[in-house]
Structure 1
Amino acid sequence: MSNFNINHYTELNREDWNRETARYQEKHKDNLVGANGLWGPIFGVPRESELQILGDVAGKKVLELGCGGGQWSARLAKQGAHVIGQDISDSQVEFARHAFSKLELSVEAKLEFVQGNAEDLSEWQNEFFDIVFSNFGAVGFVDIVRSFKEVARVLKKGGLFAFSWLNPFFDCFADDGENQLEIVRSYFDRSPMTAESGWKDGVSTLYVQFHHTYGDWQRAITAAGLLLTDIIELEPQRERWRESTWTNVPWYKVSMIPSTTIWRARKPKVPLSAIF
């Protein structure tokens, strides 16, 4: 990722989301509510209530990276956690603050939203959080080596880091086509992926995300001093499948190639060098 200016793309994404927040939240509001506990944009896969990726969050300090409109953060706060949702977009943070300003929480729970970059968590001291997670949020838009090192710094020893993103193979195949899979991108192509998210006031809005191989993700986790404990590739179930406003990917593709991968890692209580 050092071959291009990550800061340029960070600002491009921030500007895009600032323009897109109102449209996005309105267009996807039913899915954002209906997808409560869903890891990723593909319906028909098991949810958090079944997977228990984060486990019992009551009484824990939780940081969500790329919180968007705050729906997941609010869900965890309702379960008794002290949750801070961070997002690069000022307007997403504003939306989240307004949407959940009157959310009724237990005495021990707390919900906050802050604007910031997942590569810079300097707002928090070392070993502050029990859990850091991202659900199809910041991890696909940042320098993961820098970001994961910051995650490791703010995690308590034994703390959990969990995130979901597109399966590395999913980017390689076209989304259209009936009953066929066409390879349109090299698995090893790590160049920035620019896409048009919409139009506003006659201006095209663009966002940029990054493709990483399995090895890239694993090395970034290990370089941060974290211990990879699980990789979950969600398999959709036909009887639970339905299309959503997030994607028009056909059933044939999602049934043949895992769309979403969830990574779980722990901050060891002793350095990795002492374990291996």
Structure 2
Amino acid sequence: MNKDSWEKSAERFFGRTALPEYGPFSINEEQHGLFGDISNQKVLDIGCGSGHSLQYMGNRGAKELWGLDLSTRQIETANKLLSNQPVKVTLFESPMEKNPGLPSDYFDIAYSIYALGWTVDLQQTLKNIHYYLKPGGLFIFSWEHPLHDRLSYEKSSFNFNKSYIVEGPEYNEAWHNEVIIHHRKLSTYINTLIECGFTIDKVIDDVIFPDNNISDDPSKWYSTQKAQLVPATFIIKAYKK
């Protein structure tokens, strides 16, 4: 169901929410440098989408660019976008819960920009990523903050209309209920990372507002009014033990 929806909607997401951006109302890699020096690094993008984050990595000197994504259209677009990169590019059309043939203990860096939360099996996905990384390898991911969709704008005010505590698969309102995404508490992401052998370095949910006027439509999925109440994005930086 999710794959079908992505094939229909892929074009409107081409180039959106990609490095150096981490997500709505969040920090910027250019300003904060969470990855550090990526020159000569072998990097893996989980949910690579249209390839713009991999392009960012390539333009900054990464040695090898690898990625996987569920969507055929996204992989086709990423292959075209990255065709002029002077380094090795290897892309797989695959769900992140499965290993499509990626090597073990190979990558210096793995990352996922607003994609990891699509997994239907968080533990298996994180086990896979741990398997792919070298010992001491870096893993950074961003995703929509799990408080964000608990809050909705109704009748001129924001209200909590869903439980933060109850986890599980849900139809997603931002996608007009055409996809199913698992709601997970922030602690679930943190604890599952630890259980899968990662050491957590940072958890970031700072809210950064644009310099322009912050008065926009409060009913928008990502509105500045909502961001004044709850974060839209969280980021976790971790290392493979």
TM category, shorter: 0.7 to 0.9
Matched, 1:213 2:185: yes
Question: What do residues 210-242 of structure 1 show as CA deviations (whole Å, max 9, x unaligned)?
Answer: 111122112210111111111011312242577
**Aligned pair in 2 of structure 1 residues 196, 206: CA closer, same or farther (>3 Å)?**
farther
Q: Work out which of the residue numbers 185, 195, 206 in structure 2 matches 1:223.
A: 195
Matched, 1:88 2:76: no
RMSD: 2.5
Q: Displacement, 1:99?
A: 2.7
Which structure features the higher share of strand residues?
2
Tell me, what secondary structure is at the counterpart of 1:76? helix
- Do the aligned partners of 1:16 and 1:205 also contact (CA within 8 Å) in 2? no
Which residue is 2:151 aligned to?
173
Which residue is 1:54 aligned to?
35
Question: What do residues 19-43 of structure 1 show as CA deviations (whole Å, max 9, x unaligned)?
Answer: 2223443xxx5xx39x651101x15
Q: Work out which of the residue numbers 224, 232, 235 in structure 2 matches 1:259.
A: 232
Which residue is 2:209 aligned to?
237
**Aligned pair in 2 of structure 1 residues 24, 160: CA closer, same or farther (>3 Å)?**
closer
CA distance in 2, matches of 1:151, 1:66: 12
Q: Which structure has the bigger radius of gyration?
A: 1
> Which stretches in structure 2 are left out of the alignment for 5+ residues?
none
- Do the aligned partners of 1:230 and 1:265 also contact (CA within 8 Å) in 2? yes
Paired residue total: 237
- Do the aligned partners of 1:174 and 1:183 also contact (CA within 8 Å) in 2? yes
Instruction: Write out the 4+ residue segments of structure 1 that deviate beyond 2 Å after TM superposition.
Output: 22-25, 109-113, 138-142, 175-178, 195-198, 240-244, 247-250
- With the length of structure 2 as denominator, give the TM-score of the two structures: 0.88
Which structure features the higher share of helix residues?
1
> Which stretches in structure 1 are left out of the alignment for 5+ residues?
1-11, 199-203, 269-276
The residue correspondences of 1:9-158 to structure 2 (distance < 5 A) are 12-25=1-14, 32=16, 36-40=19-23, 42-43=24-25, 45-81=26-62, 82-101=64-83, 103-105=84-86, 109-121=87-99, 123-158=101-136
- With the length of structure 1 as denominator, give the TM-score of the two structures: 0.77
Instruction: Determine what percentage of the aligned residue pairs are the same residue.
Output: 24
Which residue is 1:4 aligned to?
none
Which residue is 1:273 aligned to?
none
- Do the aligned partners of 1:77 and 1:111 also contact (CA within 8 Å) in 2? no
